[in-house]
Amino acid sequence: MLEGRSCLLSRVFSSSCQPESKWPYMSYRRLEDFANGKRPLGFDGEDDQERRERKLCKLLNCCEMVETTQSSSEQSEDQQQAGVPSDSDSLIHRIGRDNSISCLIRCSRSAYGLIACLNKSFRSLVRTGELYKLRRQNDVIEHWIYFSCHLLEWEAFDPNQRRWMHLPRMTSNECFMCSDKESLAVGTELLVFGKEVTSHVIFRYSVLTNSWSSGMRMNAPRCLFGSASLKEIAILAGGCNSLGSILSSAELYNSETQTWETLPSMNKPRKMCSGVFMDEKFYVIGGIGGSDSKVLTCGEEYDLKARTWTEIPNMSPGRTGAAGEPDMPATGEAPPLVAVVNNELYAADYADMEVRKYDKERRLWLTVGRLPERAVSMNGWGLAFRACGDRLIVIGGPRALGEGFIEINAWVPSEGPPQWNLLARKQSGNFVYNCAVMGC
């Protein structure tokens, strides 16, 4: 949760936005138009700089930061008396750049597009990603849920303000629309992996520009892999290549540099597996491997410092759905539904509608409670089970007579046994195809 008086800016800026319609802040293409002469937010000329800053200070409630403001003002006066030019990039001149940023990093990121409209300094701070880097350094993280119920359409949900938002529509060919897709959020990016004819392709959505781009390629393109992210990095392991061969290779992606690094290979090739970060190590769990497409019950741990993989027996929470239907092929069931909150591993058993927790010492799965009763799925498909800050979230919903709903339920494990809180509900004719949680 974001705290501090500076969150007032978020509430003021977002109060005029509808709960569900357009992305809550303007695209940066329009911001560039503003820089070329168009005037946003009713501000008209450099003569209004002081009025703008006074208004922003009021929104940030900076007037109560008496000691900080006084110190910054005295420093500015001393510089001017000494003949040192004032900092033209101090953002809010009355309190200085450092104090300005201290306020801004604690605002909801839904307000950053409007903040970027104020002037070039604010726009640069937001669009270059500097503000998000500073948030990460100061442990100010806001988690949003991104999911797709339609082939080329994505939505975001802010669980703090409980608001739906539409992303720009993806542009791709029909082959990509029909291919299996995976998704992953890392840093300020949402990556969507798919296939066009015989080649794999990655589409990248950037929070900084509110736009999609394509053209990124892994060193070894793949699909049906396990993946997870930690701050600005992500690891992808296993999966299938374009020929259908199951892979044991792995790669690390750095969203700051947009580069891929080949990692040592796992002990076992596997596809349709799941990935998580826990205790600053990456884990691949379950999946299918071998020439006979055998279900794997083991997991593997990757130590980022030692650059080594260690096999862990019985780490998969099991595939009870397949066990209950012996004729079901291994590929007919979804990969393990797992998530990590506060370095504890949880799993959703869709067949028994239970939540399980992994005992790291004894290497056992223990049932801790129930899933939301209306979280239906088709052999695990169409049900999202994710970590969202200190909460576990389940995205699914009931289906009847061709109509249905998407429901977002949340539970805070530190508060006791599963007690699911319904955050939002909306009508939808489709299941959740892809889902990712971005923390930035």
What is the pLDDT, as a whole number, of residue 311? 97
Q: How many residues does the chain have?
A: 440
What the chain holds in terms of domains, given with CATH numbers, is: 5-137 (no CATH), 176-316 (2.120.10.80)
The arrangement of strands across the sheet holding 364-370 comes to: 338-341, 344-349, 354-359, 364-370
- Tell me the CA distances in angstroms from 393 to 125, 145, 365, 400, 420, one per residue in order: 32, 9, 19, 23, 9
- Which pLDDT value is given to residue 73? 41
Measured distance between the N- and C-terminal CA atoms of the chain, rounded to whole angstroms: 12
Q: What is the pLDDT of residue 48?
A: 57
Instruction: Return the bridge partners of 145, or none.
Output: 157, 437
Residue 278: closest CA among 250, 301, 261, 306 = 301
Output the CA–CA distances (angstroms, integers) from residue 58 to 3, 147, 177, 274, 363, in the order listed. 17, 36, 48, 47, 54
pLDDT for position 17: 38
Q: What is the pTM of this model?
A: 0.80
Q: What is the pLDDT of residue 205?
A: 95
- For the record, the structure tokens of 96 come out as 């200085």
Picking from 109, 112, 101, 115, the residue whose alpha carbon sits closest to that of residue 68 is 101
**72 Cβ neighbours under 8 A, 6+ residues apart:** 94, 95, 96, 99
What is the tens place of the pLDDT at every residue in 17-42? Answer: 333 334 344 333 333 343 344 333 33
What's the pLDDT at 297?
Answer: 94
Type of residue found at 348: A
Which token pair is 46? 């450099």
CA neighbor of 107 nearest in space, from 92, 93, 94, 120: 92
> What does the pLDDT look like over 353-372, one tens digit per residue?
999 999 999 999 999 999 99
**Closest to 336 (Cα-Cα) out of 321, 368, 277:** 321
Residues of the chain with pLDDT under 70: 1-90, 173-175, 178, 319-330, 399-402
User: How far is 363 from 418, CA to CA, in rounded Å?
Assistant: 21
Strands 294-295 and 274-278: unpaired
